[in-house]
Amino acid sequence: MEIVVTGRHTQIKQRFRDVVESKMNRVTAIAPDAQRAQIVLTHEGNPRQADTAKRVEITVIAGRTVVRAEASSTDEFSALDMALDKLTLRLRRTRDRRKDHRRGYTNPVPVDLGVAAPEPEVEEPEEEPNNSPAAAVASDLGPGESVEVQVGDTPIVIRRKLHIAEPMSIDEALYEMELIGHDFFLFVNKETGRPSVVYHRHGWSYGVFEIDTPENVKKD
Determine the Cα–Cα distance for residues 92 and 77; give it in Å rounded to an integer.
Answer: 22
Of the candidates 157, 171, 166, which has an alpha carbon nearest to the alpha carbon of residue 126?
157
Chain centroid to Cα 76, Å, comes to: 19
CA-CA distances (angstroms) from residue 179 to 72, 92, 94?
18, 11, 8
pLDDT, residue 98, reads: 63
Of the candidates 32, 29, 81, 75, which has an alpha carbon nearest to the alpha carbon of residue 58?
81
pLDDT, residue 104, reads: 54
Q: Provide the pairing of β-strand 205-210 with 146-150.
A: unpaired
- Type of residue numbered 128: E
pLDDT, residue 109, reads: 42
pLDDT by residue for the chain (220 residues), tens only, comes to 999 999 988 899 999 999 999 999 999 888 888 899 999 999 887 767 777 789 999 999 887 778 888 999 999 999 999 999 989 888 887 777 666 555 554 444 443 333 444 444 445 445 444 555 555 555 566 655 667 777 777 777 777 777 777 788 888 888 778 777 778 888 899 888 888 888 887 766 888 888 887 777 676 5
Contact 141, 119 (CB under 8 A): no
Of the candidates 89, 79, 59, which has an alpha carbon nearest to the alpha carbon of residue 10?
79
pTM exceeding the 0.75 threshold for the entire prediction: no
pLDDT, residue 142, reads: 66
Helix ranges, the chain (H): 14-23, 25-30, 76-102, 135-138, 170-180, 214-219
Mapping DSSP to helix (H, G, I), strand (E, B) and coil, where does residue 218 land? helix
Q: How many CB atoms lie within 10 A of CB 132?
A: 13
Determine the Cα–Cα distance for residues 220 and 136; give it in Å rounded to an integer.
Answer: 34
Determine the Cα–Cα distance for residues 37 and 32; give it in Å rounded to an integer.
Answer: 12
pLDDT, residue 143, reads: 59
Contact 5, 20 (CB under 8 A): yes
Q: CB-hemisphere CA count at 13 Å for 40?
A: 15
pLDDT, residue 2, reads: 92
